[in-house]
């Protein structure tokens, strides 16, 4: 269990000068907090999945980019057998799709693997698309 000194945590928790961060997903593992988020550079017009770590929400590791450009909206991170899995979406080109990436150590992540096309050929919802994936785990 991690004990926080909430009176020392600033809001917003993570703020960068020229980069917008949003869509946070957090995993606590072995006393370390892994933060995943959409990392948007408005000057370059790029989106990707960023990640950093913290033990206290005050001091942070450097940000790592774990996806190619054009991806956003990380879902949760779950353990499946011997790998970690994170879900997110391709956001750059239409039709969008949902994908997964895999890691053995929560630091190095695979290229995205497409799992669901969210384009207009899908007929199961009115707006014919899905965004912002979230995956369930088994108890």
**pLDDT in 10s for each residue of the chain, 139 residues:** 677 788 888 888 888 889 999 999 999 999 999 999 999 999 999 999 999 999 999 999 999 999 999 999 999 999 999 999 999 999 787 777 889 999 999 999 999 999 877 666 666 666 656 666 666 655 4
CA dist list (Å): 35 to 94, 97, 108, 120, 122: 27, 22, 14, 32, 32
Which sequence spans correspond to the domains of the chain?
13-117
Beta strands, E only, the chain: 20-29, 32-41, 46-54, 64-65, 71-72, 77-80, 83-90, 97-103, 113-117
Residue 60, token pair as written in the block: 């942070």
CA of 71: how far to CAs of 7, 8, 12, 41, 132, in Å? 34, 32, 23, 12, 11
**Burial letters for 10-23: b for 16+ Cβ neighbours within 10 Å, e otherwise?**
eeeebeeeebebeb
pLDDT score, position 53: 97
Cα distance between residue 122 and residue 23, in whole Å? 25
Gap between the Cα atoms of 83 and 65, Å rounded: 19
Topology given in CATH for the domain delimited by 13-117: Tachylectin-2; Chain A (2.115.10)
pTM: 0.86
């Amino acid at each position: 269990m991690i004990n926080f000194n909430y009176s020392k945590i600033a809001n917003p928790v993570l703020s960068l000068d020229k980069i917008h961060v949003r869509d946070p997903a957090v995993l606590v593992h072995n006393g370390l907090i892994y933060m995943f988020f959409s990392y948007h550079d408005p000057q370059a017009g790029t989106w990707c999945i960023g990640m950093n770590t913290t033990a206290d929400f005050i001091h942070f590791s450097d940000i790592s980019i774990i996806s190619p450009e054009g991806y956003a909206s990380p879902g949760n991170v779950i353990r499946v057998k011997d790998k970690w899995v994170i879900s997110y979406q391709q956001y750059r080109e239409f039709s969008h799709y949902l994908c997964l990436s895999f890691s053995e150590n929560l630091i190095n992540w695979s290229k995205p693997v497409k799992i669901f096309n969210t384009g207009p050929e899908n007929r199961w919802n009115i707006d014919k698309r899905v965004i912002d994936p979230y995956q369930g785990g088994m108890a």
